């Protein structure tokens, strides 16, 4: 995947949500690092545009549910491997902290994917970049 998140643009929201449980600590730390290095002004403008489009299209409730799902996932700190094997179902607070730190860029990516082509490409790229740079 290239640095601008173009590969992430090729997936849809449903596939993105299926991808979340497979993100490991390294992926999440990379997402957070890219997010922290990004242009705050461009991100704020992209978020404002996304909010306006979501309101115009009547997607605010759907966006809220989507964001709630991501926040709930981030708050769960049981590793996927432990959950599948039922071995040592101990929580992993470090993974939970890393997930929480990655929530803002994950919410941005999900928002961009929800709005699809309604969001101008330059805003879409800004919102997808942190996740796109790490996933792929």
Give 66's contacts (C-beta < 8 A, 6+ positions apart). Answer: 13, 110, 111, 114
Token pair 């049981």 in the structure block, residue? 78
To the nearest 10°, report the CA torsion of 130, 59, 16, 88. Answer: 100
State pLDDT tens for residues 92-125: 557 878 999 999 999 999 999 999 999 999 999 9
Whole-model pTM: value is 0.83
The structural domains of the chain, with segments of one domain joined by +, span: 6-134
State pLDDT tens for residues 63-84: 999 999 999 999 876 554 444 4
Q: Which two tokens stand for residue 99?
A: 């997930």
DSSP state of 26: H
């Amino acid at each position: 995947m290239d640095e601008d998140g173009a590969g992430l643009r090729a997936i849809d929201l449903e596939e993105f949500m299926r991808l979340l449980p497979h993100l490991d600590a390294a992926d999440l730390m990379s997402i957070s690092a890219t997010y922290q290095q990004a242009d705050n002004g461009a991100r704020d403008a992209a978020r404002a545009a996304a909010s306006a489009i979501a309101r115009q299209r009547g997607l605010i409730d759907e966006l809220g549910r989507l964001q709630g799902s991501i926040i709930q996932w981030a708050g769960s700190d049981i590793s996927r491997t432990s959950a599948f094997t039922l071995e040592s179902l101990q929580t992993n607070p470090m993974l939970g902290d890393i997930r929480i730190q990655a929530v803002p860029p994950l919410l941005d990516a999900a928002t961009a994917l929800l709005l699809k082509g309604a969001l101008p490409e330059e805003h879409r790229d800004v919102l997808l970049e942190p996740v796109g740079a790490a996933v792929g």
